[in-house]
Amino acid sequence: MKNSDLKNFMFGVSSSAFQIEGAAQTGGKGPSTVDTRFVRPGIADTSVASDFYHHWEADIELLRELGVKAYRFSISWTRIFPDGEGELNQEGLDFYTKIIDRLLEYKIEPVVTIYHFDLPQKLVDQYGGWLGRETIYAYEQYAKTLFEAFGDKVKYWISINEPLMVMFSKDFNGIRDHEGKAYERANYQIMYHMALAEKLAFKWCHELVSDGMIGPASAFQNIYPASAAPADVEAAMAAEEILSFTLLDLSVRGSIPARIAHTLKKQALYPETREEDVQLLQSESADWICFNYYASLCAEAYSGKDDSNMPQFFRSQQYRIVPNPVGAKSEWMIFGTDPTGLRLSIYKLWQRYNLPLMITENGYANSDTLEEDGHIHDETRIGYLKEHLDECFQAVEEGIPLLGYSPWSFLDSLSGREGFVKRYGLVYVDRTDEDLKDLKRYKKDSFYWYQKLISDCNKK
Ligand code: BG6
């Protein structure tokens, strides 16, 4: 690879507000769905998490020491608007101002996710969350407030993290009173309303942030046919189209792919729309596509076989998702790892959308051990990150505008469902699910490895 290819490559690291901040009821913050959801006994909740809220200065020092050029983090919607809309909480805005200013002082580019799973609970209570059109406008007010406050400092914006997960996860969307077909219908209504909200954010970003870039962070599912049988190939195409491209097409092209729209209508799952939506959906488009990639999957033709061991959003009557037999599996990486799949995902996204790309999540979950001497030897994570980064470098060398790579995660943080037993961080946070200990930070071997890699690339 030519040295100049990586000159502007954004080596980053990622996190999200509810997974690291803690202080869930501090500083005027209101409750969100991730605070009110049911947490299994023995698993940590959002109240302390990694306590970034009280450690932010020391944590940003760690970012500086790591040498990253970008830090992707999210803003907590209810720290800015405790009720999701209406009255602004200045203390919340001040908190993020300090963070952004410090990052810029250290020449670390803030990459800001506006909304990462933490929907204001008040919006759920009042409007049914994303089922109500009111939430579209609450999100608009929130996003516009951020562009007004930070538009002169933050260039890179992510509208919504993983809309796919928000559609399907009750923990995130807060919809508890719909089951079966009614819930399935709700999933697509949520998708549609989020797409409209996102377009309003695009509009304001384009108006208020000069040279700003905004787009979604897709939970991109790279799906191979389980065999060369045409029925399996068709199943894999359908799965990718439903799980990944439908949402991205809404963000970029402003419409649901024709075949998917046809199927949703046939199944009485097509969302309720209004005529005036078309104009909004098609007038604004994403400037870049961020995506999160952990593993790949396979699909086989639907045969009615039991798939209850799969997450609900993978179950369908058009295909059957199965683990990729090729990837190496481990305790938490149950679908196996597949670095090549990351590069193939880059190709697929580039071919379909021709937009700059950024990898905003990629990481290895492990139950890491803090040794007595304070070290954490996470060589499997190093191997995982190295193999995936090599695939990124190949794509850059081939001329694809991949702007950066920001692994998950900076600090050990609250996992989506598993609390602190499942760790992804480059920095170890000394706590368990049930014992807060001292929350001290320890740099894992992967921290030093990434630091050296960034520094070596800078010297080239
Ligand atoms: C992504 C999310 O889906 O995966 C992160 O954007 C999440 O918030 C990450 O933490 C890993 O998932 P989990 O459930 O293992 O924490």
pLDDT digit string (tens) for 382-435?
A: 999 999 999 999 999 999 999 999 999 999 999 988 899 999 999 999 999 999
Structure-token match 């061991």, residue found: 309
Query: Quick check: 2 pLDDT over 70?
Result: no
Q: Atom 7, ligand 1: which residue's CA is nearest?
A: 416
Q: Does residue 1 carry a pLDDT above 70?
A: no
Beta carbon of 417 within 6 Å of any ligand 1 atom: yes
Q: Are strands 320-323 and 296-300 parallel, antiparallel or unpaired?
A: antiparallel
Ligand 1 center to residue 254 CA distance, Å?
27
CA distance 456 to 460: 7
Q: Provide the pLDDT for residue 70.
A: 98
Distance 279 CA to ligand 1 centre (A): 34
Distance 35 CA to ligand 1 centre (A): 16
Residue 33 sits in a domain whose CATH number is 3.20.20.80
Residues with a catalytic annotation lie at 162, 361
Does the beta carbon of 14 sit less than 6 angstroms from any atom of ligand 1?
A: no
Indicate if ligand 1 lies below 6 Å from the C-beta of 162. yes
Q: Which two tokens stand for residue 31?
A: 């409750």
For residue 162, which atom of ligand 1 is closest to its CA?
A: 6
Range of the domain at 63: 3-459
How far apart (Å, rounded) are the C-alpha atoms in residues 195 and 54? 34
Closest protein CA for atom 8 of ligand 1? 416
pLDDT tens digits for range 68-108: 999 999 999 999 999 999 999 999 999 999 999 999 999 99
Q: Say if strands 296-300 and 213-219 run parallel, antiparallel, or are unpaired.
A: unpaired
* pLDDT tens column, 166-202: 999 999 999 999 999 999 999 999 999 999 999 999 9
The rounded percent of the chain whose pLDDT value lies above 70 is 99
Q: Tell me how far the alpha carbon of residue 21 lies from the centroid of ligand 1, in angstroms.
A: 15
Which amino acid residue places its CA nearest to atom 9 of ligand 1?
416
Query: Is the separation of the CB atoms in 79 and 27 below 8 Å?
Result: yes
Pocket test for ligand 1, best of 43, 291, 415, 421 (most atoms within 8 A of CB): 415
With a 6 Å cutoff on the Cβ, whether 422 touches ligand 1 is yes
How buried is 189 (Cβ within 10 angstroms: 0-12 exposed, 13-18 middle, 19+ buried)? buried
Burial label, 15 (beta-carbon count in 10 A; 0-12, 13-18, 19+)? buried
Cα of 392 from ligand 1 centre, angstroms: 21
pTM above 0.85, yes or no: yes
Q: Which atom of ligand 1 is nearest to the CA of 165?
A: 3
- Cα(273)–Cα(314) distance, integer angstroms: 25
Beta sheet of 320-323, edge-to-edge order: 222-225, 296-300, 320-323
416 lines ligand 1 (CB under 6 A): yes
CB 402 within 8 A of CB 396: yes
Residue 328: half-sphere exposure toward Cβ, Cα within 13 Å:
8
Each residue's pLDDT tens digit, 331-360 = 999 888 999 999 999 999 999 999 999 999
**How far apart are alpha carbons 86 and 83 in whole angstroms?**
7
- Mutation choice for ligand 1 from 171, 220, 292, CB with most ligand atoms inside 8 A: 292
Protein residue whose Cα sits closest to atom 12 of ligand 1: 416
Q: Report the nearest-CA residue for atom 14 of ligand 1.
A: 416
Confidence tier at 18 by pLDDT (50, 70, 90): very high
- Structural domains of the chain, count: 1
